[in-house]
Amino acid sequence: MDKVEVWFADNKGFKQEKCSLCNENRKLVAVFPGGKTTETNCDCSNLIHIFVPEASELSMIKFNKRDSRYQSERKFYISKTYIPSKDSSHRDDYSYNEFKLCQIVDEFNESIKKLHEDKKYDTKIGFKTQEECQKYCDWLNIKNLKSSDKDELDED
């Protein structure tokens, strides 16, 4: 059984820079006449979610089928349970404990963009190197930024 390191895009949350409008706990505090006080979370307390390369080690078993018309080597990947990092957007989703790969690829290119559009919700695309996975993450982050900008324009 061989060990294979695979890189995938994980959606992680990062703290924003604190603004000057809120207190040290990132709360907006309003004091009303009569002494009543109210607090609410400041927008700067929201995490910014971006895709970053994350590594996973998989086990690979190779099978050879010889007694048929099609002699070929088949590769099967067995994954360890994937537990999201504490900063992952899937942290509170207890159903998300299995790492599912739709394909392991060598490089990020136009065909991977199509593969991304066709993959199922709960699957990942695996990359053989961190560098190629970073290219994929960069593309996903730009795509999500454009999507969120479009959503904000639609709200206006």
pLDDT of residue 98: 55
Selection from 24-33, 86-95, 98-107, 141-150 with the highest mean pLDDT: 24-33
DSSP conformation letters of 1-61: -EEEEEEEEEEEEEPPPP-SSS-TTSEEEEE-TTS-EEEEE-GGGSPEEEEEEEEEEEEEE
Model confidence band, residue 76 (pLDDT cutoffs 50, 70, 90): low
- What sign does the dihedral 114-118-122-124 (CA atoms) show? negative
pLDDT of residue 4: 74
pTM beyond 0.85, yes or no = no
Mean pLDDT, the chain, as a whole number?
Answer: 78
Q: Give percent of the chain above pLDDT 90.
A: 46
CA–CA–CA angle 149, 9, 113 (5° rounding) = 65
- What are the tens digits of pLDDT across the range 78-101? 554 444 455 555 444 444 445 677
Q: CA–CA separation, 122 vs 8, rounded Å?
A: 13
The domain segmentation of the chain, as residue ranges, is: 2-14+49-155
Please, which residues have CB within 8 angstroms of residue 82's CB and are 6 or more apart in sequence? 56, 97, 98, 99
pLDDT at residue 50 greater than cutoff 60: yes
